[in-house]
Amino acid sequence: MKQRPSFPARLNPSPPATKPASKGSGSNPTVPGRPQGLGMDSAAHRQRMVQLLQRQGVQDSAVLSAMGTVERHRFVDSALVNQAYEDTSLPIGLGQTISKPGVVSRMIELLRNGAQGRLGRILEIGTGCGYQAAVLSLLASEVYSIERLRGLHDKARENLRPMRLPNVHLLFGDGMVGYAKGGPYAGIISAAGGEAVPQAWIDQLAVGGRLVAPVVSGHGKPGGQSLLVLDKTVVGIRQTILEAVHFVPLKSGVA
C-alpha cells in the first residue's frame, strides 16, 4: 500500500505535541513518511495558493478559507506531494484527475453565489479522490458525493477517514441519476462534463438552488467544454454559459 503523507489529519488539529523545527535550526529530525520539500510548512504553501486564487479573482472569503484549510497534499500520491499546492490538476489513478484548485474554488464560489453562512445539502458528482468533497464539507450542511469508479470511491473513503467529516456521505453509483434520497439540494456540482445536464439533477435541485457543471459546448474545439451555471427559480430554469473548462467526461454506469 502507498504511504500517505503523515500530517495531523484533522481539519482542526489540536496543537502538535512536538513543534516543527524552524527553518535553519539545523535540528530537523527526519520523520518517516514526511513528504520531501513540504514538511510541516504545508499551511504556508496553502496560504500562497490562496493568495494566487485571490489574484485569479476568487473573492468569497468562506471559499478562500476552506481552500486554505483542506490539506490537498493528503489527496495526491506521495510522488506528487510537492505539486499539491500548485494550480494544476494531477493524476489520481484510473485515468482521472484531481481538479485544479483554481477551478475548484471558482466553481464553489459560483455555487455559493454570495451566500451568507453555510449552504444546505450539496450533491457532488465525481468524488474522485475526495478533495472537493472535503472543501465542500466546510461550506455546506451535508455533502452527498457520488463516484462511479469503485477504486476511486474506496480511495476517497480512505483519504477522508482520518479527517472525520461527519457531514460527507460517499456514495458508489452512477451520478447521472443523481441521489434522490439526499435531495432536494441547495446546490449540485459536477466534476465531470457531459453533453447535457441530466434531467435527474434538475429534478433533485431545490427551487432557489444552483447547479454548476462543465458541459460540452463545442467551445474552442469540437467536444470542448464550458462551465454552466443553472438556477432553478419559481419561474423556471435560467442557464448561463461561462468560460471554457477542461474536465474528464461524464460517463454512465459504474466500473
Chain positions contacting ligand SAH, by CB under 6 A: 92, 96-99, 125-126, 128-129, 131-132, 146-149, 152, 174-176, 191-192, 248, 250-252
**Between 28 and 167, CB nearer to ligand SAH:** 167
**Between 146 and 165, CB nearer to ligand SAH:** 146
| Strand, coil or helix: 208 | strand
The nearest distance, CB 222 to ligand SAH, in angstroms, is 20
Q: Active-site residue 14, yes or no?
A: no
Is the four-CA dihedral 201, 127, 40, 138 of positive or negative sign?
Answer: positive
Q: Pick the catalytic residue: 14, 27, 42, 99? A: 99
The nearest distance, CB 220 to ligand SAH, in angstroms, is 20
Name the E strands within the chain: 90-93, 96-98, 119-125, 140-147, 168-172, 185-190, 192-193, 205-216, 225-233, 236-245, 248-249
**Between 128 and 183, CB nearer to ligand SAH:** 128
* Residues 28, 36: Cα–Cα separation, whole Å: 12
The nearest distance, CB 77 to ligand SAH, in angstroms, is 12
* Residues 111, 79: Cα–Cα separation, whole Å: 32
Q: Which residues are catalytic?
A: 99
